[in-house]
Structure 1
């Protein structure tokens, strides 16, 4: 089975949303830590994609989506739909955020392209904010940051209540935003009050979904006889999982390439860990181990008969059914330039409540 590269002109909204979520997938957390994350990306110069896209996530699961084509926020989980019906103010807030952020992103990106003398090509502006709440200790943390063309631009430090200009061009913005004391107060209030309140309400509605444990399906996959053997786990939830190779009961690192946990379109997750096949001597001594808290380990022995491939005429082993999501990710990066940075400065940043105070 082969994967067809999608024509960017024919990307559907559902595909666009899934690909955007892949670009935005971020760090894991402890079992008692919950997060509400909101990501916005605006772009100029690529007519094949929406000019603006926004996603809200709870514990790494997409719950709301909006873009400049549909011009509204849409729930992505049944329990979120129920919450919005019970509390319409929640969807109203996200609708306003999407509309205001679209206009803000368009203006700020145009200004930056002029400041950087970049009048041609595709350019992107990213905004990401998140609050975390530890259900056991009640500790609250958060961050807020901007990126331009895939690089950090400016971010907020909660503890010092100052903006950090990551690039020299952001110094003027830093001074403007720090001089707005009301804006800084809004930022802290959003982090310590508004965002955690929303998060707790979402957790209350979605707890049965968010706190479930789904067991993974694990397979051994290989592209060609000389390619690495990929241990592929998919369909598991939550994302706090580990997978590794071991030999004779001991974990090995040489010849092993650890992949990242990525989201599936149904809210579950997937993970790959590759083993360099040239380093394998005794097949039966190797095994792949998948671990998910509260679930029995899944152990898969490395036997040639267990490796799944496709038969393609002219090839000993066919094209591998693996990393389809990764291929789509590469397509989106290539066609849109929507590169989301994920650097944090000690998790000490926080989001503002309104964009009105954030003009360059």
Structure 2
């Protein structure tokens, strides 16, 4: 479930020159194994920080970001206290949202998301929105400073907030100034890491002669990659299963594609796995032969990673307090 929440908080960056900083706080109720409070922060697809109400310990996932902070343990302790103090506010806000919908129990979530984008050192956009039960609830129109209700229940809150324009002005300033300045600084700190190109390592794996052949591409960056199969030089789409792309713990990615083929067909035809990635001058081509195939188990899924450094959490907590009022 925590992984699902992080995916919901993710915002895909369409171009390598565009960078996104995003924070997301989620409050939930009715899910036994899920922390009632989860805060995550993201820089593009990289995990920078994570906090939940079970551990109450801020985890900075990007080592380079941690190295930029002087006296990091004092810094982490400060945010542990600050974020923990906001948990009751978010849970009260969730209870208030539930009351607007007439919900007295069950599984429910409230999310607060905000962030900004830069493209080639210029502002590329800002956003702030609230979600209830994975549906749009309230969003801020930065250009008009109007709070937009996405449900009749949200209209009750927006009517009040739109009578106090200073709240929207405050958030516009945060998103257009503080968020942009911080994101630009982070990108400058680690532009080489964020915009690096790392080629994949490609292997063919199979448990036994009767099992599908797995083409594993791992250790590549950025995320976009194409893994395909050919039979006798022609593109092959039947009996092919492409699995999802996962994050490795070092910030690179891995993906797999499986080909179901009999040992007899492998001997009779020429099968190849073709990998295309932006880091490669030419495609990697692996022939499906006994010499290339390694008899092995499919690799364990790496833990997904992806978030921004913890200083933006303080901004999120102001949003929580504003909603709870």
Same fold by TM-score greater than 0.5: yes
Alignment of 1:63-102 (within 5 A): 63-85=48-70, 98-99=83-84, 101-102=86-87
Quote how far apart the aligned CAs of 1:62 are: 0.8
Question: For the residues of structure 2 that align with 1:74 and 1:304, how far apart are their CA atoms?
Answer: 44
Q: Which residue of 2 aligns with 1:176?
A: 160
Structure 1 stretches of 5 or more lacking a match? 1-7, 9-15, 311-319, 330-350
Out of 35, 38, 43, which is 2:20 matched to? 35
Q: CA contact under 8 A between 1:45 and 1:122: conserved in structure 2?
A: yes
Q: Which residue of 1 aligns with 2:307?
A: none
Out of 281, 284, 287, which is 1:298 matched to? 284
Out of 79, 94, 99, which is 1:109 matched to? 94
Question: For the residues of structure 2 that align with 1:237 and 1:210, how far apart are their CA atoms?
Answer: 9
> Does the residue aligned with 1:30 lie in a helix, a strand or coil?
coil
Out of 298, 301, 324, which is 1:324 matched to? 301
Question: For the residues of structure 2 that align with 1:166 and 1:255, how far apart are their CA atoms?
Answer: 43
Q: Which residue of 2 aligns with 1:336?
A: none
Question: For the residues of structure 1 that align with 2:269 and 2:126, how far apart are their CA atoms?
Answer: 47
Q: CA contact under 8 A between 1:240 and 1:293: conserved in structure 2?
A: no
Q: Which residue of 2 aligns with 1:358?
A: 323
> Does the residue aligned with 1:299 lie in a helix, a strand or coil?
strand
Question: For the residues of structure 2 that align with 1:180 and 1:193, how far apart are their CA atoms?
Answer: 21
Quote how far apart the aligned CAs of 1:195 are: 0.8
Alpha-carbon RMSD across the aligned residues, in angstroms, is 4.0
Quote how far apart the aligned CAs of 1:112 are: 2.8
Q: Which residue of 2 aligns with 1:236?
A: 220
Quote how far apart the aligned CAs of 1:106 are: 0.6
**What TM-score comes out, normalization by structure 2 length?**
0.75
Identify the range of structure 1 (50-59 vs 166-175) with the bigger mean alpha-carbon deviation: 166-175
Q: CA contact under 8 A between 1:247 and 1:287: conserved in structure 2?
A: no
Q: CA contact under 8 A between 2:116 and 2:125: conserved in structure 1?
A: yes
Alignment of 1:120-131 (within 5 A): 120-131=105-116
Indicate the structure (1 or 2) with the bigger Cα radius of gyration: 2
Cα 1:88/1:321, change in 2 over 3 Å: closer
**CA displacement, residues 92-111 of structure 1 (integer Å, 9 cap, x when unaligned):** 99557734652332112222
Cα 1:176/1:81, change in 2 over 3 Å: same
Alignment of 1:185-224 (within 5 A): 185-220=169-204
